[in-house]
Structure 1
Amino acid sequence: MASLVYLCARPQEGAAAAEYESFRTAMRRGEDELERWDLVREPLPVDAAARWHGAVVGGSPFNVTDPESTKTDAQRRLEASLAHLAEEAAAGSIAALFTCYGIGVATRTLGGEVTRAYPEDTGPTSVTLTPEGRHDALFGGLAETFTALTAHKEGTARMPEDAVLLAQNEGCPVQAYRVGDHLWATQFHPEPTGRAFTERMAVYRDDGYFAAGDYDVISARVLAASLSEPPRILRAFADTFA
């Protein structure tokens, strides 16, 4: 059994399969070393903390701030699973790295606040480490300022009480944080190459993340971006907890 797991939060099976490959490639792990679990269709196993050493959470077209009345049963079940994972990771029972949509669930679960006030356009953005980030186990080896890819409609307005801010930028003040020594969360996507991100953009072209007619222009910016640093976070996570 693999010691690490990718937790899928995407209903679109093609996008989910591609995201798994992006995580696996960035982490430099074989298929036998990174399991795949579909939280859209199956809840988190009750023995997750005993089954795996670490979990990475992918993105999703869902939003934590969606009105409860509009959430599907699948979204509610998924968020309940991720909330349980956040609690387990905060307690140190399992390591977890939440990305994009996942940071919203972790923030809300652990007492922080998620808002629609900090959306970011689809494409590359500049992210800067805080002093704490420069000494973090996963972020500490990164360049102080680096380029990452974003595409989100909500962000963290207030971190959980025990969280340590690791990275930030002007458009979205909370780009990454840590709780304890087993939970990390990023607003940006650490896993995709530029090519993989443009393919994901094509799937969500009409979902309001960007003007559909701007696809070619945004794709060119993505493909031209240097994305050397974000995958190093995932490799550090895998090396630490595999």
Structure 2
Amino acid sequence: MTGRLLYVCARPQREAATAEWASFRDGLGVDDADLVHHDLVRHPLPADLDRYAGVVVGGSPFNVTDADKTDAQLRLEHDLEVLASAALEGRTRAMFTCFGIGVVTRLLGGVVTLEHPEGTGPAEIALTDEGSRDELFGILDPTFEALTAHKEGTAQVPPGATLLARNAACPVQAYRAGIALWATQFHPEPTADAFVARMAVYRAAGYFDSDAFDEVAAHVRTVSVEQPTLLLRTFAAHALAA
């Protein structure tokens, strides 16, 4: 492995993808050269995953529960499953976020459903007892705020995984599978301002009432992302030290 991290992009919108990479870079606390940007929408998964100390998977407007999937989305989901399998085998460390948790849940034999959506904005997340003992999540406060915006969720922790965090709206906010794969429903990477900029890209995508953009944005700007950023810093530190 090298001392570099890999960001895997699952967003077709280039503007949002570039901004998400920058958010992960800042959240992880690394330089530009230390976070490689890979566009999985347009290019297959790199074959040399073993060379990266860790991988972070960004969000996407795609949903695992989508009824009519393009060939591009099907290929992307397959490649994410390959990446998840590599992390489960301990070949690299990986953190899947947002859409990615659904892909991992399905791979593990769990259920992804439309019954647990969350609105756009800050949500209170609570650690489980196992979460408080996890090498990454254990450094966080027992409850903390993070940003969410999703239409689907994991119904219950999938077979073989350990539930790390939850809240009232979404019973599975984060889990660990194996020793080197973490998955979060919430977004650990954006600042409030970066999240508002992303909202502008997806204003008509059905995550929130587009006519209420200013109101939702104002609510987003009340959130502290100190704890989610700490999670990413800890992930980077553990990955780069391994």
TM-score by length of structure 2 reads 0.97
Deviation per residue, 1:59-99 (Å, 9 max, x gap): 000000001xx211211111011011111111211111000
Q: Tell me which of 112, 118, 122 is aligned to 2:120.
A: 122
Deviation for aligned residue 1:160 = 2.3
* Equivalent-residue separation in structure 2 for 1:95 and 1:240 (angstroms): 9
Residue pair 2:116, 2:154 contacting (<8 A) in 1 also: yes
Residue pair 2:166, 2:174 contacting (<8 A) in 1 also: yes
1:46 has 2:52 as partner: no
Structure 1 stretches (4+) deviating beyond 3 angstroms? none
SS in structure 1 of the partner of residue 94 of structure 2: strand
What amino acid is the match of 2:211?
G
Unaligned runs of 5+ residues in structure 2 are none
Matched with 1:146 is 144
Matched with 2:109 is 111
SS in structure 2 of the partner of residue 132 of structure 1: helix
* Equivalent-residue separation in structure 2 for 1:241 and 1:225 (angstroms): 27
Residue pair 1:2, 1:32 contacting (<8 A) in 2 also: no
SS in structure 1 of the partner of residue 91 of structure 2: coil
Aligned pairs for 1:1-150 (under 5 A) are 3-48=4-49, 50-67=50-67, 70-150=68-148
What is the aligned length?
239
SS in structure 2 of the partner of residue 64 of structure 1: coil
- Structure 1 residues 2 and 17 mapped into 2: Cα distance closer, same or farther (>3 Å)? farther
Unaligned runs of 5+ residues in structure 1 are none
Residue pair 2:156, 2:171 contacting (<8 A) in 1 also: no
Matched with 1:188 is 186
TM-score by length of structure 1 reads 0.97
Deviation per residue, 1:155-206 (Å, 9 max, x gap): 0013221100000000000000001110000000000000000000000000
Deviation for aligned residue 1:227 = 1.6
Deviation for aligned residue 1:47 = 2.2
SS in structure 1 of the partner of residue 226 of structure 2: coil
Deviation per residue, 1:84-131 (Å, 9 max, x gap): 111111121111100000000011011111111100000001000001
Residue pair 1:112, 1:158 contacting (<8 A) in 2 also: yes
* Equivalent-residue separation in structure 2 for 1:156 and 1:26 (angstroms): 25
How high is the sequence identity, in percent, across the aligned residues? Answer: 56
* Equivalent-residue separation in structure 1 for 2:64 and 2:117 (angstroms): 13
